[in-house]
Amino acid sequence: MKNLVLVIFIFTSALCNAQNYSFVPDSLRLISYEELMKNPPSNVGSVYYENGTPTTFKEVIPLVMQKKLTPQMFVDKDGNHKMLVVVKAEVKTENISIAYEGMPEKLKKLGYSFGNSKSDTIVLIAQGGPFPRLFTDEVKAIFKEKGEIDDTKYFIINTHQAQTIEPQTMLEKEILFDKAKMLGTKTSAMLHELVSYFKSENKKVFIVGISYGCFAGQDYISKFGNIADGYLLMVGRLDIAEEVWRAYSEGIDAGFEEDAISTKVEQKAEDLMMINSHKVAAAYGYKRYSELLKNTDLSNLIYYHALKDANVGKLTEDEIDFLNTKGAHVVGFDDVHTAWRTHLKEALELLLAKQL
């Protein structure tokens, strides 16, 4: 839930064509979007606007997120990230809709689709964040390149969330925690609308939730029941530490130490988007899903968790035992929160094997 910087570099616009900047040493080279996506940075000390004016990660993140700036990453001969240059993004109108014949217009507005719309298998993605915009080509690239999902065989939809439908909610003023809770309720309801529609079309429906999307997926089950055919939830928590969600509910930075167990609470985030993002995340995080799901069969759920997760912390033994008793397939990997990408292919294969 914390440290959105890493994820922002996973979900950014494609890089611009290479340009020559007088302030960029000749020894550095511009890498492609695909290279950047394979190894997103945790920090870059040198950040510049395209005119050579120095800036910082913190300053440019909101503008990158709003697609007002596009990142260009320069690396040394060993591939180490050395310099980030952000340039004014070209104005581009995205066609965010679900391209499915016969679908009501209201539902078409609830996501972005790619793949085979004639497929009998629907994959609904709940993206991480929470961010103020829905990622389109970026998610498509990750699921095709890292997940190696066959888009000739499946119809894949990145589903809208309440704050991606109404991005101004996170960008104009600080919201109250009660408002954040309402956004969470709306996100789960939108996911339910899509599941219900495609089930009525006699489709098999699978939900993939990443980080914040993991919380959205389990919240959906807790509210509407286990209706989908299968779930892949990655790098989330059933019962996140109270210290963390309470800090988030006030817009305060928080997370976990290197042991992924001990909590750390810092200070209120400086950026408005980050403050509201924390609150929206806490609107799911305050819930105790081991209690909410105690009467639910989860035998069609695959749950991936990171053992070195400083964002949400690693699953406790109680959480793992709970999932096991409910029939879920639990997979732990000895890495950090953002390493879910390296396990996406195997995880999707496990999930989609359930259609056979």
Domain boundaries, the chain: 4-88, 105-355
Rounded CA separation 310/42 (Å):
13
Please indicate whether residue 132 or residue 285 has the higher confidence score (pLDDT).
285
In this prediction, residue 7 carries a pLDDT of: 47
Q: What is the pLDDT of residues 290-349, one digit of tens each?
A: 999 999 999 999 999 999 999 999 999 999 999 999 999 999 999 999 899 999 999 999
Average pLDDT over residues 205-217: 97
Average pLDDT over residues 222-242: 97
* pLDDT surpasses 60 at 9: no
Q: What is the pLDDT of residues 140-151, one digit of tens each?
A: 989 998 999 999
Is 194:159 a contact under the CB 8 Å cutoff?
yes
Average pLDDT over residues 113-122: 97
Identify the CATH number of the domain defined by range 105-355.
3.40.50.1820
> Which alpha helices (H) appear in the chain, and where do they start and end?
4-8, 33-38, 57-65, 105-108, 137-141, 162-165, 168-171, 177-200, 212-224, 242-249, 272-285, 289-292, 317-325, 344-352
Joined together, the tokens standing for residue 10 give 């996973």
Rounded CA separation 73/41 (Å):
10
* Residue reference for tokens 């990230």: 81
φ and ψ at 172, to 5 degrees?
-100, -40
In this prediction, residue 216 carries a pLDDT of: 98
Cβ within 8 Å of residue 80, ≥6 positions away:
none
Q: What is the pLDDT of residues 239-261, one digit of tens each?
A: 999 999 999 999 999 999 999 99
Q: Lowest-pLDDT range, 59-63, 79-83, 84-88, 260-264?
A: 59-63
Rounded CA separation 2/279 (Å):
11
Joined together, the tokens standing for residue 356 give 């056979």
pLDDT band of 90, cuts 50, 70, 90: low
* Residue reference for tokens 């890495």: 335
Rounded CA separation 186/129 (Å):
16
Cβ within 8 Å of residue 183, ≥6 positions away:
161, 162, 163, 169, 280, 283
Cis peptide before 130 (omega within 30 of 0): yes
**Which of 263, 260, 257, 231 is CA-nearest to residue 333?**
260
Name the average pLDDT for the chain: 89
**Which of 241, 161, 222, 218 is CA-nearest to residue 194?**
161
* pLDDT surpasses 90 at 36: no
**Which of 149, 69, 140 is CA-nearest to residue 111?**
140
Taking the alpha carbons at both ends of the chain, their separation in whole angstroms is 34
> Which alpha helices (H) appear in 45-109, and where do they start and end?
57-65, 105-108
Cβ within 8 Å of residue 290, ≥6 positions away:
238, 239, 318, 319, 322
Joined together, the tokens standing for residue 5 give 């910087």
Is 6:43 a contact under the CB 8 Å cutoff?
no
**Which of 190, 182, 178, 181 is CA-nearest to residue 224?**
190
Is 8:66 a contact under the CB 8 Å cutoff?
no
* pLDDT surpasses 90 at 87: no
φ and ψ at 194, to 5 degrees?
-70, -45
